[in-house]
Every structure is written in C-alpha cells, then in structure tokens.
A = this chain, B = another copy of it.
Amino acid sequence: MNSAGGYEFEDLSIGQSVAFGRTVSEADIAAFAGVSGDTNPAHLDAEYAAGTRFKQRIAHGMLSAAYISAALGTRLPGPGAVYISQTLKFLRPVHIGATVITRVTVAALDPAKGFVTLACQCSVAGKVVVEGEAVVMVAKREGATA
C-alpha cells in the first residue's frame, strides 16, 4: 500500500477483483448533465424518452464509465494509479432506479512499464450493461527494480 491507501505494483496479482454498487437516481442524471453539458433529452425529458426505443429516460452511458473510474481510482488499484486508457462497450440502457454493480478485475501485469490491465464490467440485475478494459500505471515500491 502507498501512503494514500492505494496498491503498489507488487501488491497486485491476476484475478484480484473489487465490486461496488450505486443506485442511479434522477438527481444523479441531472447532476451528470450539468457537469458534462450532456443535456440530451433521452436523459432528461421523460415525454421525449417515452417515444424512443428505450421507452423511458436512460442514464448517460458515461455515468457507468464514471463508476469504473471510481472503482479504479478509489479501490483497485486505488489512489496513485495513473489512468492510461479505457475501452467501453455500451450494451444495454440503464434506467433510473437501477442498481449498477461495477466490477474491475486485474487481467494482466506488465512489470517493465508498471502497467496494469483490468477487465471492467457494469451490471444491472445480473445483465452486463457496460464492459471494457482499463490500463493504469501503478508505481513500484521505493527501491524496487523492474
């Protein structure tokens, strides 16, 4: 562990995994629209959304992506990790009131670069809504050599 409670590279092993849940509220969607500028009516306008393929308002896909960022930045590897890249596939809509379970799992370790690849999955009621892969850079312990 580093001083901020994050994992150091040597602490990580393939298969290590954390999950956390968030229930999406109407206020979360309004807040996300405000901070991002993404005021697409599919997220904010119930009458418009009733006429779309999803039949009701849906959360921003990037809100689920933000949960992935939270899992990486606060839990695994946690503070100190530097975000390198992320892929995202948006597979299903997320409705207001849904509880999104976000799981990140260490999938590969590159000791030469200090890069850690994590499989990322957000699910609602057991169905995957967003999946992707993150790469983060994690520092080695003081004095460690590659």
A17 at the interface (CB under 8 A from B): no
Known: A31-B34, A35-B28. A69 touches B79 (CB 8 A): no
Contact with B along A58-69 (1 / 0, CB 8 A): 001111011111
> Which residues on the B side are within 8 Å of A22 (C-beta)?
37
A82 at the interface (CB under 8 A from B): yes
Residues of A within 8 A of B (CB): 4, 20, 22, 28, 31-32, 34-43, 48, 52-53, 60-63, 65-70, 73-74, 78-80, 82-90
Known: A32-B35, A39-B73. 20 other contacts (CB 8 A): A4-B48, A31-B31, A35-B35, A35-B63, A36-B67, A37-B74, A38-B69, A38-B70, A39-B70, A40-B74, A41-B79, A42-B73, A42-B79, A53-B82, A60-B69, A61-B69, A62-B69, A66-B66, A86-B87, A88-B88
When A and B form their complex, which 8 residue pairs have the shortest distance between CB atoms, in order from nearest?
A: A36-B66, A40-B73, A38-B70, A37-B70, A62-B69, A31-B35, A83-B90, A61-B83
